[in-house]
Amino acid sequence: MEAERDLHENMMRIADAGERKSRLLDDPDVPLTEVYEDELDEMSRSFEYRLQQVAGEDYYDVATAYLDGERDDWIGALAAYYLECYYRLQERYTVDEQIFLLVILRYPDSFTVNLSFLTGDVGADAVRYESSTLAEEDLTDSDREQLYADSQYSQHKAAEYLRENVDCIRDAFPDPDSTSVAQRRYGGFVHLTGRRGPTFAEVLDSLSPDPDRFDDEASTPGIVPEGPEAKRAKRDLLTDADVVL
């Protein structure tokens, strides 16, 4: 039960961060760079918390030891994976045409986290919004004002989208102290963000776990192959996708 409470609390932090992002996107006085810096700060805290859970306070040494071939275990592999993901997340605002996909799923006795970095095209299901500061066109003052207004409107619509969809995280990971076991057997969500030039794309939606994915109960933490749910999300949400990490 304690592990379930911990998972629930971590997912609520992710949901709260989504709500905060929607408020910042809706604030015309907050540049998009600040929105992403705030999101990165929250993700870094979540990554560090998870790394400490898995590998302890010396998680960086554990990760580098794995990368240097000094250890060969799932703890080292997971620590190295999380660190690489964090470094790539820091580049999300500055590196064009890179897509970040997060899939978190819960099963009756376990949960899985899938982080992927890809290239390709984001499909029509995504909400799109623009940053006027990233536009490279040589514009007149009038056109620049129009671009700024259009960007603000697109960010407002993205904020609405996030507010409407963030509860899919809470619904997937309900409080174990106030819901029955039957109500919290399965749940999940997918979060995708990408950028092409000044245009950002984002998807936040529920994702149903495959009840037949695992034959046995999970006895210890570990690394498992990518499940059919994440593969389906990539197929449905992306076109011409290539996995970078």
CA dist 115 and 226 (Å) reads: 10
pLDDT of residue 94: 66
Could you tell me where the beta strands, DSSP code E, fall in 135-229?
A: 187-196, 199-206
The count of other CB atoms within 10 Å of the CB of residue 14 is 19
Q: Which helix (H) or strand (E) holds 243?
A: strand 238-243
Query: Residue 160's pLDDT is what?
Result: 98
Provide the domain count of the chain.
Answer: 1
- What confidence score (pLDDT) does residue 92 get? 66
Residue with the two structure tokens 């499940």: 227
Tokens of 122: 């984001």
What's the whole-model pTM score? 0.90
pLDDT of amino acid 144: 78
State the residue range of the domain holding 62. 2-243
Please provide residue 119's backbone torsions phi and psi, each rounded to the nearest 5 degrees.
-115, 160
Torsion of CA 4, 6, 11, 17, to 10 degrees: 170
Q: Which pLDDT value is given to residue 93?
A: 60
Low-confidence spans in the chain with pLDDT less than 70:
92-96, 136-137, 245
Q: Please report the pLDDT score of residue 95 as a whole number.
A: 66
